[in-house]
Structure 1
């Protein structure tokens, strides 16, 4: 039934043009992702099933290639020192090109507390303002996010910025030291504007 509903939602909203630029995500990285999910969420799987949240980020890089180069290596991250390496499902370049790095069926490490149920979208840029003031990038972001939320029946309220992660009703974290960990990208103020623009695109 969920698959039928997803197909109906997806048919109503066209998929934007997406360029495939996959990062390496082989058996070892999948095993590490499953181990991460077990530690942090009590889920013994690397698979992302029936996502409930879309998290918007910015990259703090100036080019897509720099972002790809950050996510491609399966190395422990500099902040939390965990494996697998961090990643996001999508990256939107400054010119509006949408790249997909990881299949949506696989969890990515992009938001502590939500990786088990969230699709991650990165925007090439160094601030909320750079993303929100770039008409081509923002338009592409809204097209992608609308298509994804309609495909998975995700409400506009569950399209959040990384800075809003702790307030999500889906946030859960088993590691005590990380229960309040978040980042400042895509603030509540920026996301209020973003969600308003997203809602203006219409229902699914």
Structure 2
């Protein structure tokens, strides 16, 4: 059964020809793929922004500069950001790969939640409702199983995880660990 698309505010970050070319080069280095396009995504990754506003998140992703952690281009980004009011912002078209989760970017849609803690999302009814609506819609649109809706911290356990750069094969982040994702997936 098809799920209705939730209200989405389009707030695109710059994603012009240079960023597309950098994304293609990134996909070649990390996945052996000659494309910048996100083709048949199989994973949805939930993230925390570690800041307090949509604007701060936008300002992090908009400049195409090497990221401070891995020092690579293109800059990091996420397809969607959900702010604390429950507004869903789309930053990047679903036709492009975004750098949000090492080992999964080639097949994953990224959703950022504005805030500092998973409890803050799970305890904010508007934010959680928006997140679940967006995730359900994406699952329906791309036929993504609930088991493949993961927290960033669960990335290494995904059957889709693939990383050609040896030093990054075990790289992940602490946001949305399993104990929070068990509840989130149950709510889906």
Q: TM-score, normalised by structure 2?
A: 0.99
RMSD: 0.6
Give the distance between the partners of 2:176 and 2:115, measured in 1 at CA.
11
Residue equivalent to 2:113 = 123
| Corresponding residue for residue 3 of structure 1 | none
Is 1:64 the counterpart of 2:54? The answer is yes
1:41 and 2:41 matched: no
SS in 2 for 1:160: strand
Which contiguous aligned blocks of 4+ residues in structure 1 show a shift greater than 6 angstroms? Answer: none
Helix, strand or coil at the partner of 1:99: strand
Q: After TM superposition, give the deviation of residue 167 of structure 1 in Å.
A: 0.1
Q: Where in structure 1 are there 5+ consecutive unaligned residues?
A: 1-8, 199-204
The alignment status of 1:100 with 2:102, answered yes or no, reads: no
Report how many residues are paired: 188
Alignment deviations for residues 1-58 of structure 1 (CA, whole Å, 9 cap, x no partner): xxxxxxxx5xx21100000000000000000000000000000110001000000001
Shift of 1:127: 1.2
Partner of 1:14: 4
- The equivalences for 1:28-177 within 5 A come to 28-177=18-167
* TM-score normalised over the length of structure 1: 0.91
